[in-house]
Amino acid sequence: MDDINTLRRILSQNRVIAVVGLSADWFRPSYFAAKYMQEHGYTVIPVNPRYTEVLGQKCYKSLRDIPVKVDIVDCFRKTGDILPIAEDAIAIGAKVLWQQLGVKNEAAAAKARAAGLEAVLDRCVKIEHGRLFGGLNWVGVNTRVISAKRPRWLAY
């Protein structure tokens, strides 16, 4: 899924994100992205067998251990590790399999789509949220306009 309307819909309708591979190290991209999403009203559920807690939330060993409904499974793992994560996402009834920047497992995406999930490849939830909902100021950008040409479908 690459179109703006789809990404905007996914991020506005799905509020519970399980972050697979979330690190407790503040300098890791997974930590920064999860903290950003948490600060913007999303429920972030850490999934990493190395930790018991990350960002003040209980950390689970796998997706199947999470006791609540998950909307987005955000994958901070290598491309080769994604297929079993996709199978777990399908098993828990997630709505979206989101593969982070640099992660492009087409087989996992196809399997997720065949099971009724939406699949996003090679995109960062934090970057997309900032781009689509005005959160780029978190990294020092405060242009208030993403491009010189405003899309006609925006309300303003």
- Cβ-contact 46, 33 below 8 angstroms: no
pLDDT in tens, 39-58: 999 999 999 999 999 999 99
| 152 burial type by CB count under 10 A (0-12 exposed, 13-18 middle, 19+ buried) | exposed
Question: Is the pLDDT at 138 greater than 60, yes or no?
Answer: no
Whether the pLDDT of residue 24 is over 60: the answer is yes
Give residue-wise pLDDT tens across range 98-117: 999 999 999 999 999 999 99
